[in-house]
Structure 1
Amino acid sequence: MRDFTAMAVQLDQHRTEHPNSADRLPTPFIWQDPSGLPRRPWIYGRHLLRKQVAVTVAPGGVGKSSLTIVEGLAMISERELLGEWTAKDLKVWLYNLEDPRDEMTLRITAAMQHHGIQPDEVEGRLFVDTGRERELCTAVQTREGVVIVKPEIDELAREIAARKIDVMVIDPFVSSHQAGENDNVAIDLIAKEWARLADRCNCAIELVHHTRKTNGIEATTEDSRGGSALLAAARSGRVLNRMAADEREQAGISPDDLTTYFTVTRDKANLAPIGKRTWRRMVSVELANGESVGVAEVWEWPDTFDGFDSKDLMAVQHAIDGKQPRYSDQAGNDWAGVIVAEELGLDARKDKRRIKKMIEAWLHSGAFRKTQVSDDSRRPRPCLEVGEWATE
């Protein structure tokens, strides 16, 4: 148990011996003209910030390691490879604690090839280490509780300073210590030590972490595995989620397409607005050695009318004019969407969701309107007829 009386005596003695010490509290606030206040030193988008810890959480196999590799290349090449703003003249240290160097080299090389990054752009600016070659342990569990391994922290600080590192990525966080990940007290101590290191070295530190099992429900950063103290210590937290089956259908992605699509959502942002969902996908890149390697890239949710214009609408209107096809997609071959598919080269079954959205948009714009037509049993059925004709 801590002896707070002894601590108070030591602190009082220290202040007496060092009257100008920064330990003297409280510190008076001094107002400054807002126009002269320094801006927050963002490094990458609104996620990485100097002197702060950021956390990325994701289920296994989504693409978090590949994502951080491409983001590292974006920072050192000063290119918005994934649409995020980046500061200039940065150095990045990727410390992967699971994969061997050969695997990291394959991933980085494939990412450079796919995104057009030249070797001279990374020379002296990208640093890569692996836990297979040199383990990293920032804290250990003892009988008295978790203890920070100060020599390890000091060595990291020396290397960051010597290499002038701006961003350090630890992947995954769970492999950087030997404490129980469900021990909130221990995780809080470790996370804050990383924050102190970021502050001490004037750099941003990204901790990559796994989510717990969510049984198919979309995860948030609150679903990060283990104690919640890790996220609490971070100033930015984001979560990766694989595209759900119904989303793939809505986006018109073929069931035969095995590409991994995933979202990146910044849902914890103490120092910036909460971010909207952005989409990424993993594409397969063929290397000259015959290997196929996944690389993260930007992917945009397709617009309903991508690839089509007013001429296509006119063609659909002419095809439907006078036929009064059924509005309901349950009408089989009598559904208006079958005619739309034939005219636009779509598949009435696979592209059903997209075609339905097209019809709704055309109804809203007045290009078509609903009308009631009696069937053979004299029951009224909603059908489509041309409304206002399209013009080129």
Structure 2
Amino acid sequence: MAQDMTPDDWEAVWQAQQEAPARDHWSDRHRHMTQLGASLECDGAEVRGAMINNGPLLSINPKPFVYRAPSKLPPREWLYGHHLCRQYASATIAPGGVGKTTLTVTDALAMATGRTLIGLKPHCPLRVWLWNGEDPTVELERRMIAAMEFHGIGPEDVDGRLFIDSGRDMPIKIGQATPAGPMIAEPVVSALIEALRSRKIDVLIVDPFVSVHSMPENDNGAMDAAVKAFALIADRTGCAIDLVHHSRKLNGADADIDAARGGSAIAGAVRAARVLNVMNTETAEVFGISGDERRSYVRVDDAKANLAPASAARWFRLSGQALGNSTDDRPEDFVAVADSWTPPDTFDGITVADLLRVQNAIDQKALRENVQANEWAGYVIGPLLDLDPNDKTDKARIKRMIKTWISTGALKIERVQDGKGHDRPVIAVGEWAVED
């Protein structure tokens, strides 16, 4: 035990700590102390989830703060919008079947080419490694080549900057459950660091996160250690890492930062996170998109932005790309690809003069806001703006216009009595529009 160690034993340990290289600072204190015959405990329980490392402990020396002018501080090295930053691990969280892998394939292609493909701008052409733990290599090839065909990208545009591996051929397990508790595999961490450095990788995408460990997801200590192991890898290599993670079953609710499957430490340990959700029925109705098509539209939200302000939601649309690879006995493959999509602007092409025409047309007409009413104001407004109030998409747009004009005061709701003496709400002119 520790109390049986001699002063010479402690001096040897102290000297080893002073000589330890900086990269060993993330070490398994429990294992080191056990080797010395000591037992390290925390609140009566052995420390678990720490990295397995045979090196000595590093001494802890608090560093005095030294002020420097703000202009001398290096800016954060964002590589892909405000989602991926050098030396940090980020997360992409979504329910199954939403399009996580389709998105990450397009992300990888955008970064390797330096092009803005689905809304986020890469800092420059980057060297990207996409590791997928579920699909075979040939399926990853189908996905990537389909995305290249869809976006008009040739092999010369990614030459030497895009790396793809399947977990079926190159399994990676950064942590596993052991009889002593969850443990991080230091040799795997070291191998990843070496691979990223030797290939000069800027971005590593791990899809999905669950494929790189076999530890209990509900163990916060284990998940914290696993994510921080990737944070260490990012720090040591200067790359950015995106951990693609499933959400728990949501029963139709939208995913958010708290929806990540397993322990809350997964979301807590990353510095940026985004969530994906398919378009819900209410939003589809607003945009005039049919129920059959709405699942092809996916919203991307910043769920956690510790390093930058949360950006507005953006969308992408899932489309099918034919590969032209049919054979005598097999049809060609159609592969899902991600395409940037911007929701329609309700007031695109609508001017102040148009609003004034609408106000004049409905003034004193006692028209209704309710779209089910025979006297719905949209039947008057639509033809004035070249919109068909009986067309589903145009109808949804007219509804949005009326709602917006009421909220801004251009229109208002008044209550009047009908011919039968019943009180009912009608649309009236609020503040009249004034043309410049």
Class of the TM-score when normalised by the shorter of the 2 chains: 0.7 to 0.9
The match for 1:338 among 379, 390, 393 is 379
1:236 is aligned with what amino acid? A
Give the 5 Å matches for 1:250-261. 250-257=286-293, 259-261=295-297
Residue aligning to 2:342: 300
Q: Which residue of 2 aligns with 1:355?
A: 398
Distance 1:56 1:8, change over 3 A: farther
TM-superposition CA deviations, 1:301-358 (whole Å, max 9, x none): 222123555786687678x468926223266332222233455343447354432232
Shift in CA distance, 45/223, structure 1 to aligned 2, threshold 3 Å: same
1:179 and 2:211 aligned: no
Q: 1:3 to 1:369 in 2, by over 3 A?
A: same
SS, match of residue 344 in structure 2 = coil
Corresponding position of 1:105 = 141
How do residues 111-122 of structure 1 correspond to structure 2 at under 5 angstroms?
Answer: 111-122=147-158
* Preserved CA contact (<8 Å) 1:15 1:24: no
CA gap 1:93/1:373 in 2 versus in 1, 3 angstroms:
same
Identity of aligned residues (%): 41
Deviates more, 1:367-376 or 1:226-235: 367-376
Single out whichever of 361-370 and 247-256 deviates more from structure 2.
Answer: 361-370
> Are the aligned partners of 1:337 and 1:348 in contact in 2 as well (CA < 8 Å)?
no
Give 1:366 deviation, angstroms.
7.9
Residue of structure 2 in register with 1:54 after alignment: 90
TM-score of the aligned structures, taking structure 2 as reference length? 0.78
Distance in 1 (alpha carbons) for counterparts of 2:240 and 2:288: 38
Match 1:166 to one of 190, 202, 206: 202
Please report the TM-score for the alignment, with normalisation by the length of structure 1. 0.86
Other-structure match for 2:100? 64
Letter in 2 for 1:120: E
Change (3 A) 1:369 1:193: closer
Structure 2 residues not aligned, in runs of 5+: 23-56, 326-331
2:177 aligned counterpart, secondary structure: strand
2:252 corresponds in structure 1 to 216
- Pairing of 1:165-314 with structure 2 (within 5 A): 165-257=201-293, 259-289=295-325, 290-306=332-348, 308=350
Letter in 2 for 1:175: S
- Conserved 8 A contact 2:281-2:291: no
Q: Does residue 420 of structure 2 align to residue 377 of structure 1?
A: yes
SS at match of 1:206: strand
Match of 1:91 among 127, 141, 150: 127
CA distance in 1, matches of 2:169, 2:354: 59
Cα distance per residue 1:145-184 (max 9 Å; x no partner) = 2232333222222221221111010100101111111122
Q: 2 CA distance for matches of 1:246 and 1:144?
A: 50
Q: Is the counterpart of residue 132 in structure 1 residue 173 in structure 2?
A: no
Corresponding letter in the other structure for 1:338: Y
Map of 1:145-160 to 2, 5 A cutoff? 145-160=181-196
Q: Deviations over 1:234-277 (max 9, x none)?
A: 11122112211111111221234255212212222222223332
Report the Cα distance in structure 1 between the residues aligned to 2:4 and 2:64, rounded to whole angstroms.
26
- How many pairs does the alignment contain? 389
What one-letter code is carried by the residue in structure 1 that aligns with 2:191? E
Post-superposition shift, 1:296?
1.5
Structure 1 distance, partners of 2:263, 2:143, is 31
Superposed CA offset, 1:337-390 (max 9, x none):
223345534344735443223234456778767777764325465555789689
Q: 1:127 to 1:34 in 2, by over 3 A?
A: same
Q: Name the structure 1 match of 2:35.
A: none
Aligned-residue offset at 1:44: 1.1
The one-letter code of the counterpart of 1:359 is: I
